Structure 1
Amino acid sequence: LIGIDHLARINDAFGFDVADAVIAEVASRIRARLRGGDVLGRFSGNKFGLILKNCTVDDMHVAAERFLASIRDEVVPTKSGPVSVTASIGAVGVPRYARNTDEAINRAHETLDGAKRRRAGSYSVWRPNVERDAQRRVNIRVTDEIVTALNERRIVMAYEPVVEARSRRPAFHECLVRMERDDGQMLLAPDIVPVAERLGLIRLVDHRVLELVIAELANSPAVQLSLNISPDTTMDPDWWASIESLMRAHPGVGERLIVEITETVAIQDIDDVRGFVTRLKNFGSRIAIDDFGAGYTSFRNLRKLGVDIVKIDGAFVQNIANSADDCAFVQTLIDLARRLQIKTVAEWVQDEESAVMLREWGCDYIQGRLIGLASSQRPWGAGAEAVLPAAG
């Protein structure tokens, strides 16, 4: 398969008619370099299918470079002016590495995608890969496990306390997803979320987490909870339909809900994210940026978005007692946030010395090993008003 790189950019920059002219010219250049008996066809919008007959692996390499050079070495003349174009190639040897047409197309397509990810204008040939095949078997098994766990209501919550830095009184609890396996083993969020995101299941997980958190808020009127949602979920219309329905069914819970989004979300299209934030604030909910400091969000964007809380990435917090750089960075973040009237949470607080430093710098809330790790037991069920002793 030969794929024209970045055709969508050409569409946006020059229009579809220019992109069509580019496609036609690329096809002409490929056709001019075919041998007798080779077959060329249009596969999809920006891709061509090519069959090279009686071709060794070495022949395939030579032919691929010939095709790529013919496309990249001369600009394509169009009515809007010359356009520079490159293409990438994904190839598979048949019948050695593909037993039928579908397998050949799938493997060529997969290899083309890999070539494009690695570098535009490159060539790659399919090879057996034991690790890849093993990972795919794992993906199939884990997909089945997650879907079955969702259907059997084995996706549950654990609650990690977030306390006021000065008084150590509970402020809210962060809800972290857990999955109970058939054998009783409990999988933690780092075991579930990345896999669910990679396999396209995170929307289903986020929907279930939302249902569980809203139900908990409805049953416990004095509790405040936060939940994390993935980047894809922020623009998911079904998630919005669910939260609107749940908010109508349980008036008042919105004011006790904090929704945590990552910096990745915050630096996407600002208008889209601002719309997301505004709709949540209309329910009375607050917005927190999770793992702040790990990405590239500017404080200007935080102010523009109307964020209520920033949670400082624990990677910077955990060593503030021993690292001058982390100390300066965290202190600066807290100071800037305070000037913008944004509350701060320090994650991964490990020891009393760090907690005291954070309190003196004006950090509003802390969470981590010092305060207590996530537990599936509801802390507000008994002794919810217990206060951890403040530092001296």
Structure 2
Amino acid sequence: MSHLTSASQQYIHVSVLNYPHLSCLLGTVKTVELINQLSVRLSNWGGVRFLSAGDLLIEVKKSLVSESDLSERIVVECSRNVYCLAGEKCILILSVQPAQLKADEDQLLALEAEHSWISQVAPVQYNDIWRGAYKNDMQLGVCFLKQLRDEQLSLALQPIKHTCDPTLELYKEALLRNFECIGDGFSTVTVISALENLGLVRLLDYHVLKCVIKELKHSVADRIGCNISAQSATRDCWWGTILEDLSKNPTLAGRLTIEITETNTIPCTNEAINFLLSLKQLGVKVAIDDFGSGSSSWSLVCAVPVDVIKIDKGYLSAARNSRKSARLLIDFVNTCKYWAAKVVIEGVESQSDLLYLASIQERLWVQGYFIARPSLAYKIGRVDG
């Protein structure tokens, strides 16, 4: 099997991951028209070939930009576009990777991608209930993209303090604010859930982390943590410039904490483990957020030497009203301290909460409205790959 790749040519494979979803929602003809719109945008980087339904290949002339950097630039730029068709506003969920072309005896094209695993999107369900839910998620996703484009989203910082010494601060968590999309009832949790259902949460995590790194460069004494979805816990084209930036700034990397949240199932545990280990090699702290609210994080805790475990606020809430739950919280804290040097209790809402936690364990960290309310820090501006 001979390679068709030449010294003067590089190839980028673009796959529309929600092609079957859009076909189910809009029909094949309309979905193909959306793919044609994408191909027009992709032509800014080179010639475009259609390989199959939802798969395209860009033939890019050799330049000073590496294939991985170019992949990141393409996926960021094209993922934040809204594609319109007959009054319908749609989002395309993309996987973009460097590729090599091969030819077999029938001269059919095949792809040899650098990464065989890609982020998965929720499967299609061919019924009206699924179509309605997917359409609602799409509307929230479109609104998110508008807010991102208009720089309407903000990050608020909430400190994590020590139970016995409020002058000690572990770090400040960057919390997303201003998700006021369609009206009342659409909270940040609702929108993030929609983005995870769509597979678009990668774009959100990318912009949040870029902004946090920018803030760490500006405020050289701060330590900041931020959440990323379990869907983002994989090394692919989204992470190229971020990892390069962190490798060049080890002091900055040491002041950054990445929190993996359990709101979404980890698509590939091995990929997530390797990703977190690569972050730790750069000096980044790793935290597991909302620990105990699901089951997927146990595999990460067992395989990765995490720095921080943040116990879900539900445990403290239950302990307020039940001796059995209070005993469970104490046992859970002791278990977590075996796996991580720092344990944080979330949801501290009163002086009695704080005194209770200080009484059960001297070396605990706490977070909640009683400790400090989040304070708006900065807007999430447009960033480029």
Give the TM-score of the pair, scaled to structure 2.
0.58
Q: 1:317–1:330: 8 Å Cα contact kept in structure 2? A: yes
1:222 alignment counterpart: 221
Measured after TM superposition, the shift of residue 322 of structure 1 is 2.2
Measured after TM superposition, the shift of residue 176 of structure 1 is 1.2
1:209 alignment counterpart: 208
Matches within 5 A, 1:321-340: 321-340=320-339
Answer 1 or 2: higher relative contact order, Cα 8 Å, separation at least 6: 2
2:166 alignment counterpart: 168
Letter in 2 for 1:315: G
Structure 1 residues 204 and 270: alpha-carbon distance in aligned structure 2, compared to 1, 3 A threshold? closer
Matches within 5 A, 1:80-91: none
Distance 2:265 2:143 in 1: 31
2:98 alignment counterpart: none
Q: 1:266–1:273: 8 Å Cα contact kept in structure 2? A: no
2:38 alignment counterpart: none
Corresponding residue SS for 2:334: helix
Structure 1 residues 301 and 139: alpha-carbon distance in aligned structure 2, compared to 1, 3 A threshold? closer
Corresponding residue SS for 2:222: coil
Letter in 1 for 2:142: D
Structure 1 residue runs of 5 or longer lacking an equivalent are: 1-43, 45-111, 116-125, 379-392
Q: 1:230–1:261: 8 Å Cα contact kept in structure 2? A: yes
Matches within 5 A, 1:1-392: 114=125, 135=133, 138-169=136-167, 170-179=169-178, 189-248=188-247, 250-263=249-262, 270-296=269-295, 302-362=301-361, 363-377=363-377
Distance 2:343 2:160 in 1: 11
Structure 2 residue runs of 5 or longer lacking an equivalent are: 1-19, 21-122, 379-385
Q: 2:291–2:297: 8 Å Cα contact kept in structure 1? A: no
Deviations 1:43-94 (A, max 9, x none): x9xxxxxxxxxxxxxxxxxxxxxxxxxxxxxxxxxxxxxxxxxxxxxxxxxx
Corresponding residue SS for 1:259: strand
Measured after TM superposition, the shift of residue 375 of structure 1 is 2.3
Measured after TM superposition, the shift of residue 113 of structure 1 is 5.0
Measured after TM superposition, the shift of residue 319 of structure 1 is 3.6
Structure 1 residues 219 and 213: alpha-carbon distance in aligned structure 2, compared to 1, 3 A threshold? same
Structure 1 residues 184 and 375: alpha-carbon distance in aligned structure 2, compared to 1, 3 A threshold? farther
Corresponding residue SS for 1:318: helix
**Structure number with larger C-alpha Rg:** 1
Q: 1:175–1:227: 8 Å Cα contact kept in structure 2? A: yes
Corresponding residue SS for 2:144: helix
Measured after TM superposition, the shift of residue 201 of structure 1 is 1.5
Per mean C-alpha deviation after superposition, the further-off stretch among 257-266 and 319-328 is 257-266
Per mean C-alpha deviation after superposition, the further-off stretch among 175-184 and 142-151 is 175-184
Letter in 2 for 1:221: V
Letter in 1 for 2:237: D
Corresponding residue SS for 2:254: helix
Measured after TM superposition, the shift of residue 251 of structure 1 is 4.6
Corresponding residue SS for 2:375: coil
Distance 1:276 1:265 in 2: 17
Distance 1:261 1:292 in 2: 10
Structure 1 residues 333 and 174: alpha-carbon distance in aligned structure 2, compared to 1, 3 A threshold? same
RMSD over aligned Cα atoms = 3.2
Letter in 2 for 1:372: A
Identity value in percent: 25
Measured after TM superposition, the shift of residue 299 of structure 1 is 6.3
Letter in 2 for 1:280: L
1:72 alignment counterpart: none
Q: 1:321–1:327: 8 Å Cα contact kept in structure 2? A: yes
Corresponding residue SS for 2:148: helix
Distance 2:232 2:266 in 1: 15
Measured after TM superposition, the shift of residue 227 of structure 1 is 0.8
Structure 1 residues 242 and 187: alpha-carbon distance in aligned structure 2, compared to 1, 3 A threshold? farther
Distance 1:157 1:172 in 2: 15
Measured after TM superposition, the shift of residue 308 of structure 1 is 1.2
Measured after TM superposition, the shift of residue 289 of structure 1 is 0.9
2:92 alignment counterpart: none
Corresponding residue SS for 1:253: helix
Structure 1 residues 353 and 316: alpha-carbon distance in aligned structure 2, compared to 1, 3 A threshold? same
Corresponding residue SS for 1:335: helix
